[in-house]
Amino acid sequence: MHGRGVDASRGNIARHRGAARRREAHECIAAGRERGTIVSETASPLRPNEEQALAEWRRLVAADTEQVERLREHQPDADHYRPTAARFRAGGALPALELPLLEQLVEPGETLLDIGAGGGRFAVPLAHRAARVIAIEPSEAMRATLTESAAEASVTNIELHNRRWPDVEWSETADVSLASHVLYDITEPGAFLDAMERHSRRLCIVAVGETARGAQLAELWEAVHGEPLQTLPALRELLAVLGARRRRYELRIVVTPPAEPTDADEAFEMARRLLWLARGSAKEARMRELVRERYGEPDGRVTLPAMRDFVGVVSWRPRSAAPARPPRLSE
């Protein structure tokens, strides 16, 4: 009896302490609401709700847009990718490091919707696995590059569409949808992802870098423009959005190789484009000086910082998809 009495007494003390902690937590939440520092019991900077995550994404894109429009020294080509489209072709200058993972995610005989297919870096090789590839690409230069790349690879099952996603008139549905490195400057990621899910029967895939374009040259940007770079959303922000939307996603990481030396003129041109500088301007001269000083090699070549350390391949089942079949266990 004595032992049971002690246990009961300890249990009562624990319950009282628990109740006191709960009262204290509620009082802190109430005080935070009065100060305007707490939105709800569940939302926080590390645990945003969907509205907060999407609003922060829009803010980052707007900050980048404002900075670029204010500091750029030249007006862009009507087709922004015309000068660089060849880099995005299948087998081109940009390695398709994510391809082995994508080949695992796209099953043989499926239909693939490639949103922002570019020059065919993934659409062309995946066409050998998928029964049909529907490629959406608004850039004329990119479409021309994709068409040429597909012809060289004897690929005939790619359907190319001059559209911008999301498209309210789009009606086709595929087994798998893919958006590779296109989300960074999308103003409304919620609408983009919703459209992906509506037009995907089995799986949605987004490939996105650890950081967005230009982030590797943030120090150079600040030295040339005199203010910090406003970085676009990338992998961390995408995961925050998907988490806030309660999607059960899978994340696979592709580690990118270290940067290698390149011809100085090639490095200057890349830095010029990423810093939005005009040829022959005072800022471009300053950029060249800093690039040689910070990244120059003894042989005259230049090793710019790597674009990013890794890429995330994020996949999830759309809400309308049939439940996944559990794997069969071997006996």
Domains, the chain, with CATH or none? 50-258+308-316 (3.40.50.150)
* Alpha-carbon separation of residue 231 from 217, 227, 276 (angstroms): 11, 12, 14
Question: pLDDT at position 314, please?
Answer: 98
More confident residue, 192 or 93: 192
pLDDT interval class at 27 (50, 70, 90): low
Question: pLDDT at position 8, please?
Answer: 46
Q: What is the pTM of this model?
A: 0.83
Q: Are 206 and 237 in contact (CB under 8 A)?
A: no
* Separation of first and last alpha carbons in the chain: 52
Kind plus residue range of the DSSP H or E element containing 200? strand 200-209
- Phi/psi for 8 (5° steps) reads -65, -40
Question: pLDDT at position 88, please?
Answer: 77
Provide mean pLDDT across the span 174-178. Answer: 98
- Angle between helical axes of 189-198 and 50-71 (0-180°, round to 10): 120
- Report residue 1 as tokens: 């009896």
Q: Looking at beta carbons, which pairs linking 66-71 to residues 24 or more positions away fall under 8 Å?
A: 66/230, 67/227, 67/229, 67/230, 68/276, 71/225, 71/276
Provide mean pLDDT across the span 180-198. Answer: 97
Q: Is the pLDDT of residue 31 over 80?
A: no
* Alpha-carbon separation of residue 242 from 49, 85, 152, 309 (angstroms): 10, 30, 38, 22
Q: Is the pLDDT of residue 242 over 70?
A: yes
Distance (Å, whole) CA 157 – CA 132: 5
Distance (Å, whole) CA 79 – CA 268: 21
pLDDT interval class at 221 (50, 70, 90): very high
Name the residue among 312, 307, 237 with its Cα closest to residue 273: 307
Question: pLDDT at position 28, please?
Answer: 45
Q: Is the pLDDT of residue 38 over 50?
A: no
Question: pLDDT at position 331, please?
Answer: 37
Helix ranges restricted to H, the chain = 2-35, 50-71, 99-105, 123-126, 140-152, 189-198, 218-225, 235-244, 264-274, 282-295
Provide mean pLDDT across the span 257-265. Answer: 95
Q: Are 253 and 311 in contact (CB under 8 A)?
A: yes
164: CB partners within 8 A, 6+ apart = 136, 138
Q: Is the pLDDT of residue 40 over 60?
A: no
Q: Is the pLDDT of residue 106 over 60?
A: yes
Q: Are 255 and 210 in contact (CB under 8 A)?
A: no
Choose the weakest-confidence range: 18-27, 133-142, 168-177, 193-202.
18-27
